[in-house]
Structure 1
Amino acid sequence: MCGIVGFWDISKQFSVEHLYETTEKMSKTLLHRGPDDGGIWTDVEVGISLGHRRLSIVDLSPLGHQPMMSANGRYFIVFNGEIYNFLELRRELTQLGHHFRGHSDTEIMLAGFSEWGLDKAIRRFNGMFAFALWDRQERILHLGRDRLGEKPLYYGWQDSTFLFASELKALKAYPNFRSEINRDALTLFLRYSNVSSPYSIYQGIYKLPPGTILSWNGVDAHPDPFTYWSAREVAELGIAEPFMGSESEAVIQLEALLREAVGLRMVADVPLGAFLSGGIDSSTIVALMQAQSSQPVKTFTIGFNEEAYNEAQHAKAVAQHLGTDHTELYVNPKEALEVIPKLPILYDEPFSDVSQIPTFLVSQLAKQQVTVSLSGDGGDELFAGYKRYILGRKIWQAINWIPKTIRHNSARAITSISPESWNRVFANVNVFLPTRIKQPEFGTKLHTLSEVMRLPNAKEILYKRLVSHWEDPRALVIDGLESPTNLSNSQNRGQLPDFTEYMMYLDTVTYLPDDILVKVDRASMGVSLEGRIPFLDHRLVEFAWRIPLSMKIRNGQGKWLLRQVLYKYVPPNLVERPKVGFGVPIDSWLRGPLRDWAEGLLNEGRLKNEGFFNPQPIRQKWEEHLSGAASWEYYLWDVLMFQAWLEANN
């Protein structure tokens, strides 16, 4: 696990000293990603420079040092991540005549590229990775990223220079970097709580999409990334060719795949552990780790005294049953609040998933004892674990059967009355309504439903509404538009007729790489901890898409098949409970200890002077939240995280 940086200045106007000093300056910003070693390689005749920071995990010797040259001298590489099947590939390459100096997976990658070529080799790698590969023979720079997007990679052009790095802070260290804010990306951020791929918060800087390779020869206009693994094709093929065995056979095959995925991710030359929340996903990962370990696995949990946010007691019960070496830390509000000033630097661009706070805290806790930690992320997307899959299915079934004419007329009737008027109507009969619709924004939600009902194919807008924060972020961001994303691009939507599977697919290509994996990578690497995610083994992902939905959702509950695997190791009563998000009580904190901080960032005069936001809707939600008339904590947290990021980055 490491950090990579580099640039290619095709003007070739700079000395080797300039190339080296610039790369060193960029590389130093990533010390947290690689505190153990660093290296730089330059070619002044070409104008290219590669930099690397190393967190030593496998082959701790100097033979794992990067940048690394291939044995035949053709390639130079800087690589961030792990190739989990490197021992298998090493045996095969040895039989083909390759010889190896050390035991690192980086050396295996270079031999693979030399033997099979870039495209064929990358398809054989089972791992998480982001790399830059310089082909000295063809004079082409290749950037590659793993299939699901576990490891980050940013890139872009500044005048005659092509830049890339693991994090934006490294690109900003490049001389005369233009840090112009992308207002369209800011608009997307307010909707999704993250800057959606392929954009970054800066104009002209992009995220390399998961499962792609970008190749540049220094001559052609800005090329598009090439897809070597498509989540859309995997989903469509899995549904077209479903698993035809029995339920018991499905359990056996899933357990075998999971066991191997976990086992591969337990290979390390440094101490290893796991995050354990006590839920289905993390409990399954830890159970399979302990089943393959001769020693108690080290597990880590963060607890809160606020009952609604605390899962520590459940994690402790699972740990005791499995016999792990368990560490838990109950965090008080002061300790959690101390994390907030670190977030703008940690995440480099606006990011407002509130679980970023406990994720950082549990990473910090784990780093005290281990250098690698496995997690249960990805299980919800693969096995239908999110509540919105059940809710969205119910909404879709409720409106999809209605004839189009009736849907359109009903939508017109709803929108003939303003959201505010609907709110007053429902307020008058509030005492008779179920709790779930006792909301001051219910009129807005009715108008959202009418928008869904009006469309001929409403799946896209319904999913969008289910995952949105600010429903019309363009009304907030001055001169901001919503750029096209994987959600709005019809070519990426996939031919998935079932609405639940459609939502699961969209989460896999949007929410998973842009939110969940960003959160885990920055939080763990911020404390020099490597996070590994067994559920994202691509073979497991491909098998999961072949599992019929009836084996995932049963009796209104997701993860049925995964639960059957877990029950072999942990009794149901220890893990069966309502799903709790990994969050913190931001709602009450904003009315209490964070109130002055938030007021300073949301000051109307400040918002006007900065010129990014229309203050009126923000101030309205802030005042309603403070009064208790509504709970707008997630909407406000979006704005606050941008404001804090803007302040920290001047």
Structure 2
Amino acid sequence: MCGITGIFDTRGRGDIDRAVLARMNESQHHRGPDEGGMHVEPGIGLGHRRLSIIDLSTGQQPLYNEDQSVCVVFNGEIYNYQDLIPELLALGHVFHTRSDTEVIVHAWEAWGEECVRRFRGMFAFALWDRNRETLFLARDRLAVKPLYYALLPDGNLIFGSELKSLLAHGGLARDIDPLAVEEYFALGYVAEPRTIFRQARKLPPAHTLTLRRGLPVPEPREYWDVRFSLDSRCSLTEACAQLDEKLAESIRLRMISEVPLGAFLSGGVDSSAVVALMAGLSAEPVNTCSIAFDDPAFNESTFAQAVADRYRTNHHCDLVASDDFDLIDTLARLYDEPYADSSAIPTYRVCQLARKHVTVALSGDGGDETFGGYRRYRLHLMEERLRSALPHGIRRPLFGLLGRVYPKADWAPRMFRAKTTFEGMGRTAVEAYFHSVSILRGPMRTRLFSDRFRSEIDGYSAQEVFRHHAERADTDDPLALIQYLDLKTYLVGDINTKVDRASMAHSLEVREPLMDHELVEWMATLPSSLKVRGQEGKFLLKEAMKPCLPEEVLFRPKMGFAVPLARWFRGPLRERVRQAVLGPRLAATGWFNQDYLRHLVDAHQSGASDYSSPLWTLLMYEAFLRNVLDASTVGILPGAEAAR
């Protein structure tokens, strides 16, 4: 795993400031502490930080073709590179290393922009072809690896693995995009392709950007999408057998490494399945890492230990105090833009533990999206069955009225909390799903923001992100639609962002066998009844894993990687959250309704309501303003180094 960065003069062959490029490169030192390199020629500069995983002796970057007319900097892994080498050799290409990076160079020469379709892996890379005067940027299909870019007023395009490398350039304006703020307070992250800054963009998943010297910067081009055909007719037995084969292949490819390798083991179905299959593929005991919480309500370590014992892994478990909240400012600096998933705290800690023992770790990320595991999927399907009983033209006015007049009753037993159900019944499927995943739902955001802010966004709603993707989903199956939405939004903007930054903060490479694009494509051919059946999510995965995992792991309620926010904000973080939310920094933006901010704090701390998620979202936005927007320097500051 590595960090890449660069500067490209889109207008000509202007001089590239080596000191600026070096500063951009060094801002990502944590992503690649083993080695660093740069390539500079008129009009183009590429930088690279290396975390050595494959071909330790000769895999340095930037890496070139035979006559050095093609140069690449690359972050990620091409898992099928060994299969591509013979094909490229047969076409006459000469290899000087044993690295997957060199495959990219020769694949570009052989297949041009279509080369990305041949790669199976996680990647973000920048390739310069001097003869074609072309810079080619690419990002993997499910956006496991990040890539940011910005076109500056002087015609220079700058890019990097993290926003901090763009900030380090010095030419990026720190103007906040209010539409990104609307997305953040709805979703907890800024959705692709937007970033928190007006001038910068994320390259979307499965997209490339081809820049030719002297020509205008085009829009990114999509090279892959998943289609939920749901047309497979295989039986449950056949599907289980095929899933076993596909999982084993995906995991085997991700076990190629020349450095110590292991796995995260949370005790949930996904990570346990990965470890079970790794054990069957490895001649040596698998290295596994878990964290335990001192609060039983958040502790899954006993289930992780059961799996570790069954497969005789080299298991490492650290105890994390339930009051482990001293990472707030560190996380703000790591993520570079507002990010509100509080599970970033335990993710940071498990990566910290894993790096003591391994350099590469396999994870179970992507399992919920791929196999249909989220509880919200089952609730959405129940609502969809109700919605389908009445035409939308009748539902919207009828249930919209009931939702408005029925009292909110968070304190009541679930059967009497009908307000949310009524509101959901009055919406379309996409509106309802967006509503269900929003941190601050529409009415709350209306009250949160000031008149000035609402004027600046001019009616824009983060719901537009979901509507845009839903138009391209090409399915009317209720489960397939929301799986597609999650693959385009939550998986990319939340899960992959969280894991990339937390792991790279510790120079740890994390690989994701449940996000293998061929596995995702195959799962999309299976009917939804093999994913969610009744009240059981991940039905097929659990059936396939019955011979490998104990029932208490397969069929226990999903716990998640959570932290006790509600208690923190009424206890040890009581004053901190009050000072952050009601303090001068948020007020200075002019974008928030101060009366509503006070209501959120007072109602939560009195116990009248649980506003822990909105308050955490506000707390992390305030931390972003102080640690990133107002900071005179960029990068992981000394506080993060001390935590490492």
Question: Where on the TM-score scale, by shorter chain, does this alignment land: which range?
Answer: over 0.9
Aligned mates of 1:101, 1:37 — CA distance in 2: 19
Among candidates 285, 288, 293, match of residue 296 of structure 1:
285
- Tell me, what secondary structure is at the counterpart of 1:465? helix
Among candidates 23, 31, 34, match of residue 33 of structure 1:
31
TM-score by length of 1: 0.92
User: Do the aligned residues in 1 keep the contact of 2:10 with 2:212 (CA within 8 Å)?
Assistant: no
Matched ranges for 1:99-248 at <5 A:
99-119=94-114, 121-159=115-153, 160-231=155-226, 234-235=227-228, 238-239=229-230, 242-248=231-237
| Structure 1 match to 2:344 | 356
Cα 1:515–1:127 shift into 2, 3 Å = same
How far apart are 1:630 and its partner, in Å? 0.9
243-252 or 489-498: bigger deviation? 489-498
CA-based RMSD: 1.9
Matched ranges for 1:464-483 at <5 A:
464-472=434-442, 473-477=445-449, 478=453, 479-480=456-457, 481-482=460-461
| Structure 1 match to 2:52 | 56
How far apart are 1:488 and its partner, in Å? 2.3
- Tell me, what secondary structure is at the counterpart of 1:299? strand
Q: Which deviations, in whole Å up to 9, do the C-alpha atoms of 1:65-113 show, x marking residues without a partner?
A: 1111112433111110000011111122223332211111011111111
| Structure 1 match to 2:638 | none
| Structure 1 match to 2:3 | 3
- Tell me, what secondary structure is at the counterpart of 2:169? coil
Among candidates 509, 512, 517, match of residue 496 of structure 2:
517
Aligned mates of 2:365, 2:304 — CA distance in 1: 16
How far apart are 1:325 and its partner, in Å? 0.7
| Structure 2 match to 1:584 | 563
Q: Which deviations, in whole Å up to 9, do the C-alpha atoms of 1:571-598 show, x marking residues without a partner?
A: 3234320001111101101111111221
User: Do the aligned residues in 2 keep the contact of 1:126 with 1:538 (CA within 8 Å)?
Assistant: yes
Q: Which deviations, in whole Å up to 9, do the C-alpha atoms of 1:305-342 show, x marking residues without a partner?
A: 211111011101111011111111111135x2222221
User: Do the aligned residues in 1 keep the contact of 2:12 with 2:214 (CA within 8 Å)?
Assistant: no
How far apart are 1:474 and its partner, in Å? 4.9
Q: Which deviations, in whole Å up to 9, do the C-alpha atoms of 1:485-542 show, x marking residues without a partner?
A: 5412167441221212111111011100110000010000111000000011111011
| Structure 2 match to 1:407 | 395
Confirm whether residue 448 of structure 1 aligns to residue 420 of structure 2. no
Among candidates 66, 74, 81, match of residue 69 of structure 2:
74
Among candidates 336, 355, 361, match of residue 367 of structure 1:
355
- Tell me, what secondary structure is at the counterpart of 1:222? coil
For structure 2, the 5+ residue unaligned runs are: 631-644
User: Do the aligned residues in 1 keep the contact of 2:209 with 2:221 (CA within 8 Å)?
Assistant: yes
| Structure 2 match to 1:315 | 304
Cα 1:321–1:396 shift into 2, 3 Å = same
Matched ranges for 1:231-630 at <5 A:
231=226, 234-235=227-228, 238-239=229-230, 242-334=231-323, 336-404=324-392, 406-411=394-399, 413-414=401-402, 417=405, 422-423=407-408, 434-435=413-414, 437=416, 443=419, 445=420, 448-449=423-424, 452-453=425-426, 458-472=428-442, 473-477=445-449, 478=453, 479-480=456-457, 481-482=460-461, 486-489=465-468, 492-603=471-582, 605-630=584-609
How far apart are 1:614 and its partner, in Å? 2.1
Aligned mates of 1:77, 1:474 — CA distance in 2: 46
Aligned mates of 2:549, 2:10 — CA distance in 1: 58
User: Do the aligned residues in 2 keep the contact of 1:278 with 1:575 (CA within 8 Å)?
Assistant: no
- Tell me, what secondary structure is at the counterpart of 1:290? helix
Cα 1:222–1:96 shift into 2, 3 Å = closer
Q: How many residues align?
A: 619
User: Do the aligned residues in 2 keep the contact of 1:474 with 1:482 (CA within 8 Å)?
Assistant: no
How far apart are 1:436 and its partner, in Å? 5.7
- Tell me, what secondary structure is at the counterpart of 2:491? helix
How far apart are 1:413 and its partner, in Å? 3.5
How far apart are 1:167 and its partner, in Å? 0.2
How far apart are 1:154 and its partner, in Å? 0.4
User: Do the aligned residues in 2 keep the contact of 1:275 with 1:373 (CA within 8 Å)?
Assistant: yes
User: Do the aligned residues in 2 keep the contact of 1:266 with 1:272 (CA within 8 Å)?
Assistant: yes
Cα 1:475–1:161 shift into 2, 3 Å = farther
134-143 or 477-486: bigger deviation? 477-486
Cα 1:416–1:309 shift into 2, 3 Å = closer
Cα 1:405–1:523 shift into 2, 3 Å = closer
Aligned mates of 2:32, 2:325 — CA distance in 1: 27
Could you tell me which amino acid in structure 2 is paired with residue 265 of structure 1? Answer: R
| Structure 2 match to 1:643 | 622
Aligned mates of 1:394, 1:7 — CA distance in 2: 51
User: Do the aligned residues in 1 keep the contact of 2:400 with 2:423 (CA within 8 Å)?
Assistant: no
Could you tell me which amino acid in structure 2 is paired with residue 488 of structure 1? Answer: R
How far apart are 1:142 and its partner, in Å? 1.1
Aligned mates of 2:171, 2:281 — CA distance in 1: 51
Aligned mates of 1:595, 1:581 — CA distance in 2: 24
289-298 or 571-580: bigger deviation? 571-580
User: Do the aligned residues in 2 keep the contact of 1:50 with 1:67 (CA within 8 Å)?
Assistant: yes
- Tell me, what secondary structure is at the counterpart of 2:467? coil
For structure 1, the 5+ residue unaligned runs are: none
Cα 1:178–1:568 shift into 2, 3 Å = same
User: Do the aligned residues in 1 keep the contact of 2:11 with 2:213 (CA within 8 Å)?
Assistant: no
How far apart are 1:446 and its partner, in Å? 5.9
TM-score by length of 2: 0.92
Q: Which deviations, in whole Å up to 9, do the C-alpha atoms of 1:524-561 show, x marking residues without a partner?
A: 01110000000111110111111111111223101111
User: Do the aligned residues in 1 keep the contact of 2:293 with 2:321 (CA within 8 Å)?
Assistant: yes
Cα 1:367–1:485 shift into 2, 3 Å = farther
Cα 1:306–1:361 shift into 2, 3 Å = same
User: Do the aligned residues in 2 keep the contact of 1:301 with 1:327 (CA within 8 Å)?
Assistant: yes
Cα 1:82–1:605 shift into 2, 3 Å = closer
Q: Which deviations, in whole Å up to 9, do the C-alpha atoms of 1:17-66 show, x marking residues without a partner?
A: x2x1111000000000000011111112xx111000000000111x2111
Could you tell me which amino acid in structure 1 is paired with residue 144 of structure 2? Answer: E
Aligned mates of 1:541, 1:162 — CA distance in 2: 33
Q: Which deviations, in whole Å up to 9, do the C-alpha atoms of 1:174-209 show, x marking residues without a partner?
A: 133211111110110000000111100001211101
Aligned mates of 1:190, 1:56 — CA distance in 2: 38
User: Do the aligned residues in 2 keep the contact of 1:75 with 1:110 (CA within 8 Å)?
Assistant: yes
Q: Which deviations, in whole Å up to 9, do the C-alpha atoms of 1:331-369 show, x marking residues without a partner?
A: 1135x2222221011111100011110000000000001
User: Do the aligned residues in 1 keep the contact of 2:351 with 2:503 (CA within 8 Å)?
Assistant: yes
User: Do the aligned residues in 1 keep the contact of 2:31 with 2:51 (CA within 8 Å)?
Assistant: yes
Aligned mates of 2:282, 2:306 — CA distance in 1: 19
- Tell me, what secondary structure is at the counterpart of 1:296? coil
Could you tell me which amino acid in structure 1 is paired with residue 257 of structure 2? Answer: A
How far apart are 1:412 and its partner, in Å? 5.3
How far apart are 1:134 and its partner, in Å? 1.1
User: Do the aligned residues in 1 keep the contact of 2:7 with 2:159 (CA within 8 Å)?
Assistant: yes
Could you tell me which amino acid in structure 2 is paired with residue 2 of structure 1? Answer: C
